[in-house]
Structure 1
Amino acid sequence: MKTSIHIDAYKVPIVHRPDVCVVGGGAAGISAAIAAARTGKKVLLIEKYGFCGGATVAGLSGTICGLFNSGDVKREQIVFGFADEFYSKLKQRNGVVKPVDFGKTCLIPHDGLVWKELADDLLQSENIEIRYHTNFLKAITDESGKVTALIVKSFEGQFAICSEVVVDASGDAEIIHNIEGETYSGASGTVQTPTMIFKMGHVDMEVFLKTSPESICEKVEEADKAGDFKLPRHHVYAFPLPNKNEVICNMTRITYPDGTTPLGISSEDMTYAEIEGRKQAREYADFLIERISAFKDAYMVDTGAQVGIRQSRSIVGHHQLMNEEVYNAKKSKSAISHSAWPIEAHGSGDLKIVYLENDHYDIPFETLQPTIGNNILVAGRCMSAEHEALASARVTGQCFGMGYAIGAAVSLMLDERIASQKLKGEDVLYYMKQHQLKNSYE
């Protein structure tokens, strides 16, 4: 058995040989790793940060979106499976607040630290090997297109992971892009705008909970137009957190001065977005303290560990989730998740929200099935979807569902020696039932 692999003019040691390697520890990556482990597979999860959670923790978005119905109906949870399992365990640890209205649906604010702790505990309880502070560098493929090794970098230097199957849950389709799979970004290269989310502490919660979101938005627009503060985004959100005196603020909108949008896959763009995001966060915090009575004695606790990225690369998959499928609430026999979350498109102009009315659409398995490679699938926001469709499907509740199904799918590949290109969504769903892995409908 090889103990090292040659890369160009030098060699790196092979350190791990799991059945499944999951790249990325966001909602999709966590759930993929756990599903695969629950079918008896040896799983390794690598993550660039020192914790799991992806955008909802590192980006401080702080909410679980996509669990509930939408429209002029009584609020009810419609997405279950692993998403519900994680949500329920957060509740048991007092890590969430009650559902908060969001237009014609609702969402769940959560505590980021409790999320990290729960993810650690769940992964360890399933004997999943975790490597934090580990960055993907390069994928090695053979003549058949199989990914034979992943070259990564950690504190020890570069080393190789040789797994039977790979899950790209990076959010940016890093592995698919690296093996020259076809990808695209947004609508003709224009993606949704990044946001630097921040947290306010020592908020008067009694007053805050009586303050209408609309009134805050109105005062933001007034202050910006008067030139009192630089507040480029007028449709803003603020949600209570479980510790009783903190509020998460989703308010900034980061573009270049000419209106173009920074890309989450460019270090130059990300550097600009991080710096500009912190400046905007401070401006909005100062506005809240001066103009919104609930915040008069508050202070800004922190911003996200990184700017929040809604969209970067999407794969070209066996099926692309189309805008019309979302608008028309289309169902699919190979659905691995479903959603009633609105199309929430953040652009350089303003926020566009289109709600589903008393219905939901399905996310087919084939949207996570790349057209390249024979032992790799993706999970999460790098799915194959049109620009507006992705603005609905990319949220946390649906990423949980996608990841859990993909974890089952790679296990099915190993059990039956099936190439990823040959998998059928209906077979994945049947496999989940056989192994008592509840899908999003259950």
Structure 2
Amino acid sequence: MKNMRILIVGGVAGGASCAARARRLSEDADIIIFDRGPFVSFANCGLPYHVGNIITDEDDLLVASPELFRDRFNIDVRILSNVRSIFPEKKSIEVENLQTGEIYREFYDALVLSPGSEPIRPNLPGIDLSGIFTLWTIPDTREIKRWIETRNPKHAVVVGGGFIGLEMTENLKRLGIRLTIVEMQEHVMPVLDPEMGAIINDHLEQQEIALCFGSPVSGFRQAADGTIAVMLESGREIAADLVILSIGVRPRIELARAAGLKIGACGGIRVDDRMRTSDENIWAVGDAVEVNDFVTGMQTMVPLAGPANRQGRIAAGAILGQDAHGPRFRGVQATAVCGVLGMTIASTGKTEKQLKLLADREEIQPYEKIYLHEDHHAGYYPGAKPITLKLLFRISDGRILGAQAVGMEGVEKRIDVISMAIQKNGTVFDLEEAELC
């Protein structure tokens, strides 16, 4: 009997986790990872901190190298290999070796797609000028660091005030660069509710970060003095020596769509709770898939490494015979944390503005909200720092729907507790009785 042949397209979070789990479940399976980039299994959440020299050694970003996969797991990793096409009826893929130009085919018993996502880079005038960067890969990090080392920028504009935008703001400021954040909404961290974002706005201004809200970028041009003019729809121009684009990501679904796999209403690959696609021999994990929202029961997309890693392990189990009794993906609730200049921002579940858009969903309506303003530990003990927390719950039974917290200490601990309560369909009354440190 021949060994099962598992091909994995994409080797960062979900793909790498799938490969490692598959090897633990089967010593005999032939496992091959293909990735178009020069690295696999790297910590993309750490990239901004490498730019800021908090993480000084690039090798520290590498969770596992191709050599480690080969020597420890007997997994064949082929970097700089672009999977161009899938032929489901023949259970094969077409691969291009980006180093040699060779094009060849590989056959599979099971195919796992983990293509991830890519930064949005809108088709604006001047978008390809030197000095305008996105940050998503280790090569991106190298380019930004090289620009900083050779050009010594004095002022940077960060377009987009989300997770990556704020983390880049912190790390560029650490290098002595003046910062302006341009955000089309009225507050940074637009995934949060406005009153929570306003607290972060105040903190950034206290840290001498310039903020520009409410006017999208219309384009870029090279100024006479060599700087980049960031042009806004309002007519204002901001001169910058460096521009970081952090305006979101889009899933890489072109390969799946061309193969005839079903694409959902959110724009991601449709999968079941074992991560199987509409083709019985193809699974998909990570940023490019649609999954169940644990709070609302609706389909959603959450480009976070934690869910991608869980999905990869579940897919491996499904492929290698754990279908009947193995774990199933219950859903996501978008639990996330971000730090910026000493402040911690965390959230889980739904925000109020999301709930307002779901007014017809009986599962979550009507809802109520409460705000808590407390110290992160007992106020009589020195060093207590304030936290602002917003909690949303269903009025009928107190079921927790979401929470957001902002503060200098202890923020993620509280959100972690609430996140677990949501997983257990907990209520505000359960939190009231919780016995915590």
Instruction: Give the TM interval when normalised to the shorter protein.
Output: 0.3 to 0.5
Structure with more relative contact order (C-alpha pairs < 8 Å, separation 6 or more): 1
Q: TM-score, normalised by structure 1?
A: 0.40
Larger Rg: 2
